[in-house]
Amino acid sequence: MNKHRPKHLALHLIKLPLPGFVSILHRISGLLLFIALPLLLLMLQYSLRSIETYTQLLAVLAHPLVKLMLLGLLWAFLHHFCAGLRYLAIDLDYGVKLAQARASSKAVLVVSLVLTALLGAKLW
Amino acid sequence: MVNRVVTGAHYGLRDWLIQRITAVVMALYSVALAGYLLLQPHLDYDAWTGLFSSQPMRTFTLLFLLSVFYHAWIGIRDIVMDYVKPAGVRLAIHVLVILVSLLYAIWAVQILWGF
């Protein structure tokens, strides 16, 4: 039987399935949050230490670029949060069938983006 | 022959479980804090420090932050194990992340009890 070797896969047509996409974003968002940790701790410190540092922090946070960065971190947190809940559910054997897994990964992407938009609008 | 690598994937159930326990701790704390802040009509410095000056709030915030550091350490290690192959580089990142996490934990105590 002729198996036509070597096989030529059309790599540019092969796409990461949706759950895989959510998974890699889970890693990227987690890494982003880890990198941002010292900044976030510094913000907590400035917000608590004294009324002077608190006002200083608010002034820095008012800068548009800083706001944009925080919005990015907010998305990273929300995506990591939603995808994490999805993994916890899958660990408990909920939504492990393919159709459900696809639907829930779509939900993770949409819900985290919508929540980012809503919270972002509320905060600014 | 003993063939164990210090930066390998043979940590088993313990870290898998800790990753999930810390995740639940962080999720509960985040939802509680976000809910409280969203329902707070007027948030200023006094309200903010008032919230964090109670002992239970300090304790649970520290528990949350320790969960973050432990969770992040396991997560970073998993990422490093997948993408960084040379054992020396792995070990270096490993040690760095552990040291940084410990420093963060000390810093967190200073922040929470230092105002």
What ipTM does the predicted assembly reach? Answer: 0.88
Each residue's pLDDT tens digit, A25-37: 999 999 999 999 9
Each residue's pLDDT tens digit, A67-124: 999 999 999 999 999 999 999 999 999 999 999 999 999 999 999 999 999 999 988 7
> Which domains, from first to last, does chain B contain?
13-113 (1.20.1300.10)
CB atoms within 10 A of CB A105: 22
- Encoding tokens for residue B28? 């509960």
- Encoding tokens for residue A81? 């949060």
Put simply, the answer to whether B104 touches A41 (Cβ < 8 Å) is yes
Asked whether residue A50 is domain-assigned, the answer is yes
Say yes or no: A49 contacts chain B, CB-CB below 8 A.
Answer: yes
Question: Which string of DSSP letters, residue by residue, matches B63-103?
Answer: HHHHHHHHHHHHHHHHHHHHH---HHHHHHHHHHHHHHHHH
Q: Residue B26's closest chain A neighbor by CA?
A: A81
Q: Which residues of chain B have a CB within 8 Å of the CB of A50?
A: 115
- Encoding tokens for residue A69? 């960065």
Identify whether the C-beta of residue A71 lies closer than 8 Å to the C-beta of residue A116: yes
Asked whether residue A13 is domain-assigned, the answer is no
pTM of the model: 0.89
CATH number at residue A90: 1.20.1300.10
Say yes or no: B104 contacts chain A, CB-CB below 8 A.
Answer: yes
